[in-house]
Structure 1
């Protein structure tokens, strides 16, 4: 679960979470020392550690105190943990991992969406596509609209397990899209998304899967141009 990044609580969670993921914090943590470092009360420190514990990053035990948990215990699908990991690993690794996950997930999602979409799903996807067109000049808003389209496509698959992966797609896309959309509108971007939606609307699974693979191929070209 994500958390509000504003306020002293959010600032402590954000900085400490990034440090843990980057390996700058390990072993036992000193709550008193953390309070002094961030110049916050022990109440704020405790609440921040509770938030990080919910993400699997830290734990507290009697006689052992508070400590950073091994990487294998982290909630790797948590949106914030994903975001911190991508920031720590760097753009090239993040883009590669995202491309691999998208290639495995989104064509299958598009195929299922073409078979199972409801009128409400189609309306939501159309609205996201319209928002993308209307915000082409605003990278931040355009990113949000693009993410919404891809999330809604997985929702339209009506497969609960596949829908869970939208957390991964959305978190990674946010980091990726801020890089890509900052370069301005790209030729073919709207057309590839429209082709996916048109195939889903027609109830054509093969065409929807192919259109999504074409979209991902274009996304790869966009990333290569960074």
Structure 2
């Protein structure tokens, strides 16, 4: 079982931390699909919380699709098909316990569906402020003398800016969740330690921006797909070729 105290030094009555602890355990398979959670008395003793807090936690997890409560049956763990993995908290919990190859493959497939189209829409709409945000992120990516985490954040901001530049609020929202999860799950590169890879990564992102500025939707889509394929698991099973986040 995941230790509650190992997750946070905050008060043990925290609703968010109890939800996180149980949510991560469900995602990790500690509570089997179709099985009941430990009874109320055990959960109260474990987390040292009130019944009111526990009931709110269970409501939260039920709203995210992880649990289902039925009279005379109890609170059961639902099948993964019901889990809302586009919920930012659920996805953050999944990242925290570690992404397996199948989940990385699934994420790559979703990226191929969403991000090339977002880049194409950005090229079609060419909003000046949106392009400026993309360019600013790319300029930050170009900096050689920076830590890996700063490069990764600039990379993330580049992709988030393209999601925003699509002008589609739903696409922007989905892309934001996916990109944030990716940034948390990949090991970024330090530009000064990998100069050739850094230059190659920046050039491929620059090609996306150039196509957007030129209003070439097809080229923007193709350039984005190339970046995604570089970061995707090889043969849909295994780590990506590079340590870049995108």
Shared fold (TM-score, shorter chain, > 0.5): yes
> What is the aligned length?
221
Cα distance in 1 between the residues matched to 2:231 and 2:145: 16
Cα distance in 1 between the residues matched to 2:102 and 2:79: 21
> What displacement does 1:13 show?
1.8
CA contact (8 A) 1:199 1:205 kept: yes
Change (3 A) 1:118 1:48: same
Q: Which runs of 5+ in 2 are unaligned?
A: 1-6
CA contact (8 A) 1:113 1:157 kept: yes
Output the TM-score relative to the length of structure 2: 0.74
Name the structure 1 match of 2:118.
Answer: 109
> What displacement does 1:113 show?
0.9
CA contact (8 A) 1:82 1:171 kept: no
> What displacement does 1:151 show?
2.1
1:21 aligns with 2:27: yes
Name the structure 1 match of 2:218.
Answer: 206
Q: Which of 150, 153, 158 pairs up with 2:162?
A: 153
Secondary structure class of the residue paired with 2:91: helix
1:47 aligns with 2:56: yes
Name the structure 1 match of 2:16.
Answer: 10
Secondary structure class of the residue paired with 2:240: helix
- Which is richer in helix? 1
Cα distance in 2 between the residues matched to 1:34 and 1:170: 34
Cα distance in 1 between the residues matched to 2:140 and 2:220: 21
Name the structure 1 match of 2:4.
Answer: none
Secondary structure class of the residue paired with 1:60: strand
> What displacement does 1:204 show?
1.7
Name the structure 2 match of 1:181.
Answer: 189
Output the TM-score relative to the length of structure 1: 0.79
CA contact (8 A) 2:134 2:161 kept: yes
Q: Which moved more, 1:179-188 or 1:194-203?
A: 179-188
Q: Which moved more, 1:58-67 or 1:31-40?
A: 58-67
Secondary structure class of the residue paired with 1:224: coil
Cα distance in 1 between the residues matched to 2:49 and 2:141: 41
Cα-to-partner distance string for 1:15-69 (whole Å, 9 max, x where unaligned): 2111111221142232331122233343432332232122111233444443323
Q: Which runs of 5+ in 1 are unaligned?
A: none
Secondary structure class of the residue paired with 1:76: coil
Change (3 A) 1:15 1:133: farther
Q: Which moved more, 1:204-213 or 1:113-122?
A: 204-213
Secondary structure class of the residue paired with 2:162: helix
Cα-to-partner distance string for 1:141-166 (whole Å, 9 max, x where unaligned): 43333222212212211234433421
Cα distance in 1 between the residues matched to 2:160 and 2:185: 15
